[in-house]
Amino acid sequence: MNRQRKIIWGFIYLMIGSLFIFAAAYEAQDTVWNAATIFFAAFAAFDVRMGFHHLIKGAMQK
């Protein structure tokens, strides 16, 4: 995967992660830790991690 493609995928993962963070915050109503909130938070953590991974690898690639 070339540098530009890694950076683009990094931003895509970060955008999707931010959407899942928003969904988790929106879903937390009565209690913070219901099943939907845990699912959205876990998926957001994965997406944010992958986003930073692709951004760092793309920036370091020549």
Q: Note the pLDDT of residue 6.
A: 92
Q: Note the pLDDT of residue 23.
A: 87
Q: Are 7 and 56 in contact (CB under 8 A)?
A: no
Query: How many CA atoms within 13 Å lie on the side-chain side of 43?
Result: 16
Q: Note the pLDDT of residue 56.
A: 94
Cβ neighbours of 29 (radius 10 Å): 9
Give start and end residues of each alpha helix (H) in 1-62: 3-27, 35-60
Percentage above 90 pLDDT, the chain: 55
20 confidence band (pLDDT: 50, 70, 90): very high
Give the Cα separation of 58 and 21 in Å (integer).
24
Place of tokens 């951004």: 55
User: Domain residues of the chain, as ranges?
Assistant: 3-60
Q: What is the pTM of this model?
A: 0.84
